[in-house]
Structure 1
Amino acid sequence: MKGEDILKIEHVSFRYEKENVLEDITFSVPKGAFVGLVGPNGSGKSTLLKCILGLLKPQKGHIYLFGTRVSSFKDWHRIGFVSQKANSFNTGFPATVYEVVASGLTAKLGLFRFFTSKEKQAVLEAIEAVGMSKFRHQNIGELSGGQQQRVFIARAIVSKPELLILDEPTVGVDVHHVQNFYAMLDELNRHLGITLLLVTHDIGTITEKVTHVACLNKHLYFHGKAEEFAELQEKELSHFYGHPLYVLSHQH
């Protein structure tokens, strides 16, 4: 049901040896939300993602996915993940867009089996959802960085996850195509109903695109609706980030 928390983070703290990286982090991601997670380099964003994905275990606190503690969570097909370096994929590998996206089904279906017509249709739908249908027979290595990133998002959504986590997805995307890229994410959220958690440095864009913002710098400095975040003064944001910050809008 709408409003249900898909992700809940409760009083999470994490440290590497003696260095505190996350301190008492608490926030949630409701079903249907498009949440932007922002913060400077070294703020703990990547560490928090690893805790959410069960790759690291917090020293304190708990994380719940769909109401289940991460340590006991088994339904990973309900979550899609696109890493910051998704486009460091070996693009010389002889695989078409269709084949790369289809590989997103192997974790769910097994490596050595034939796809049914329904599964083939799911691949085509995922490719269409990211606007790459006309490239489906093209080799992945022949595409631009932004096009490759769209393909990796299609691979992440082909198994129809309910939550999609993206770590700096505009890395490698040409600046002129960033707006189209965010419009595509907005389409996934609004029309396919996928809940999104987006890690980004692009504050100007997220205040226009996301529904909620979490601002992290070891502590959680802000969590709320995007319009509330947009009303924060640059002076306040500079305090969050620890250095002067100027917010640029991308609206035309």
Structure 2
Amino acid sequence: MNLFLLNGVRYTYLNNSDLPAFRLGEINLNIDKQEMISILGPNGSGKSTLLKIISGVLVPQFGEVLFMGNSITKYKRKEIAKHIGFVPAFSTSIYPFSVYEIVMMGRTPYLNFTGFEKKEDHEIVAEALNTVGIYELRNKGINEISGGEAQRAFIARALAQKPSVILLDEPTAHLDLKHQISVFKLLKELNENQDITIVIISHDLNLAGSFCNRAILMRNGKVVRDGKTIDMLTQENIQDVFEVSSEISTEIINGEAKVHVHLRTY
């Protein structure tokens, strides 16, 4: 069943002179339940704009976005937040909150008019913290922990929403190699063990090739390739989309194809 269906979606950013600064479209796309998808492409290709449209943050000027069979514009923001978790690009901004408070923000759509949390909310937050492996850090300030731990806190915040899908904008940006792999492993576990659909914007072709079963390749505001990751990460496609030469190798681990991209620097 389609979780999302995008039909003829187009979106245009205007500059200060009301002239087109960037155009996205025409996008026709479906996202099914339990998929783990990477959106790949060079800077300025429209990846973040597409993710914001999928999430309902941006409304396309043309076309429609269906979520669970209904126009996403028919849902109130509070209702969307119960189904769609959004993890923005990693930021080093100073948040004057503890890890626990950050994750509790994910329960906001479920709070009544008083704004007070119930016992169930605290239980769900504790569960989310345990799932991502940072329960022992719950009382620390978000700025007192490492970047990888902070990113897990923001993923836990999305989990606390009890979503059917989590959208992530470059979740491993500014993280070292160990924490990049750790975050992708966590997302894979959520996808497989909790049946959560995962859609990730990434610049890392090898992480996408190792963990995602589908890849959407973008260039100049358009989806130029879409399919199984093993079929998308080819020398021809990488040259066409990223304008770099590469060598590709694959291996089968536990019945799953893993794609490794070796970029040529000569």
Partner of 2:85: 80
Letter in 2 for 1:225: K
Deviation at 1:207, TM superposition (A): 1.3
Letter in 1 for 2:217: C
Deviation at 1:112, TM superposition (A): 4.2
CA distance in 2, matches of 1:185, 1:245: 29
Is residue 21–residue 43 contact of structure 1 (8 Å, CA) maintained in 2?
no
CA distance in 2, matches of 1:156, 1:247: 36
Partner of 1:97: 99
Mapped pair 1:7 → 2:9? no
* Bigger shift: residues 205-214 or 133-142: 133-142
Name stretches of at least 5 consecutive residues in structure 1 with no aligned partner.
none
Partner of 2:25: 23
Partner of 2:239: 238
Partner of residue 174 from structure 2, selected from 155, 165, 172? 172
CA distance in 2, matches of 1:188, 1:172: 22
CA distance in 1, matches of 2:116, 2:63: 43
**What does the per-residue CA deviation read over 1:53-91, in whole Å, with 9 as the maximum and x for residues that have no partner?**
333332322111111112212321110001014x33423
Deviation at 1:171, TM superposition (A): 1.6
Partner of 1:115: 117
CA distance in 1, matches of 2:5, 2:177: 33
CA distance in 1, matches of 2:130, 2:147: 18
Partner of residue 223 from structure 1, selected from 226, 230, 251? 226
Partner of 1:204: 206
Is residue 109–residue 161 contact of structure 2 (8 Å, CA) maintained in 1?
no
Deviation at 1:128, TM superposition (A): 1.1
How is 1:40-59 mapped onto 2 (pairs within 5 angstroms)? 40-59=42-61
Mapped pair 1:63 → 2:68? no
Give the structure-2-normalised TM-score.
0.84
CA distance in 1, matches of 2:117, 2:62: 43
CA distance in 1, matches of 2:106, 2:183: 20
Give the structure-1-normalised TM-score.
0.88
3-state DSSP class of the match of 2:56? coil
Mapped pair 1:134 → 2:136? yes
CA distance in 1, matches of 2:170, 2:113: 29
Q: Larger strand proportion, structure 1 or 2?
A: 2
Letter in 1 for 2:49: T
CA change 1:101–1:28 in 2 (3 A) is: same
3-state DSSP class of the match of 1:240? helix
Partner of 1:189: 191
3-state DSSP class of the match of 1:37? strand
3-state DSSP class of the match of 2:123? helix
Q: CA RMSD in A?
A: 2.1
CA change 1:238–1:67 in 2 (3 A) is: same
Deviation at 1:247, TM superposition (A): 6.4
Is residue 84–residue 167 contact of structure 1 (8 Å, CA) maintained in 2?
yes
CA distance in 1, matches of 2:134, 2:23: 38
CA distance in 1, matches of 2:212, 2:117: 35
**What does the per-residue CA deviation read over 1:199-231, in whole Å, with 9 as the maximum and x for residues that have no partner?**
11111111110121111112211111122223x
Partner of residue 33 from structure 1, selected from 32, 35, 57? 35
CA distance in 2, matches of 1:25, 1:71: 17
